[in-house]
Amino acid sequence: MIRTARDGDIAVVTIDRPAKRNALDLPMWIALAEAMEAASADGSLRCVVIRGAGEEALSAGADIAAFERERGTVEREEVYGRELSRSFQSIRRCVHPVVAACRGWTMGGGCGIATMADFRVGGPGTRMGIPARNLSLFYHYGELDPLLQSVGYAVACELLIEGRVFTGEEAHHKGLLSRLVPDEEVIPEAMALARRIAQGAPLSNRFHKAALQKLRGALPVTEADLAANAAFALTEDFHEAVRAFIEKRKPVWRGR
């Protein structure tokens, strides 16, 4: 589930599924979008913190075990892709600054959540990676762009193509984490950062967040690019990867 609490003028959005390292199924992605959209519409807020329940993970990403019922057909993929993009973009487009508390596992969609935030706080025990290649997934252009802007082409290739998983120190060195603190200080520092942000003039903070994103301009992506981006869910390799994950074996890639 997704829980929202308020600490003065700061909203704390918690991904609460610790038994699965806070992995998100489709209803949770929808709930995360709703929570962020509600926070963005609340003019009395000054900052939003996203964290995971427990001490093990911000989020291990999407719940792959749910893919067989949530994805894999044209109709289901249309819904899943739309709601997943809505969830990520609700973080990016939130009018308030967003801080991601990256304690522990921040993998796959969890890393995506973090890269959509404006600030990322982690510790030495943080693990950040995007193992899309292990599932024959294609990340959406709208989620790739913030990653590329944060870390550059070479590091993005390490994550997406080589499949590297960075320690907290590596992630900080490569620009994926904004700040590195002891593991037990990740949540307290994320909250302290949010309070420092909240001390500033809210209109100034909101303007600069929007302006920095606007300067990026429209993405140079065609309708054909977007269609090709969504086609992975209908491939044999994607279905094989999901079955292999559930059966706890290595997938056999066929390139189709």
Q: Domain containing 179: what range?
A: 2-183
Residue 33 maps to which CATH number? 3.90.226.10
**Residue 43 burial (10 A CB sphere; 0-12, 13-18, 19+):** exposed
In a domain, 65, yes or no: yes
- 6 bridge partner residues: 11
pLDDT tens digit at each of 256 positions of the chain: 999 999 999 999 999 999 999 999 999 999 999 999 999 999 999 999 999 999 999 999 999 889 888 987 888 888 999 999 999 999 999 999 999 999 999 999 999 999 999 999 999 999 999 999 999 999 999 999 999 999 999 999 999 999 999 999 999 999 999 999 999 999 999 999 999 999 999 999 999 999 999 998 888 989 899 888 888 888 999 989 989 988 989 999 999 9
> For position 117, what pLDDT does the model report?
98
8 Å CB contact between 116 and 142: no
SS3 helix, strand, coil % of the chain, rounded to 5? 55, 15, 30
| Total count of domains within the chain | 1
In a domain, 117, yes or no: yes
Pairing of strands 10-15, 2-7: antiparallel
In a domain, 23, yes or no: yes
In a domain, 123, yes or no: yes
In a domain, 122, yes or no: yes
- Edge-to-edge strands, sheet with 165-167: 57-59, 105-107, 127-129, 165-167
In a domain, 249, yes or no: no
In a domain, 236, yes or no: no
Q: Which residues of 146-184 are buried (b: 16+ CB within 10 A; e: fewer)?
A: bbeebbeeebbebbbeeebbbbbebbbebebbbbbbeee
> For position 231, what pLDDT does the model report?
85
8 Å CB contact between 155 and 175: yes
In a domain, 203, yes or no: no
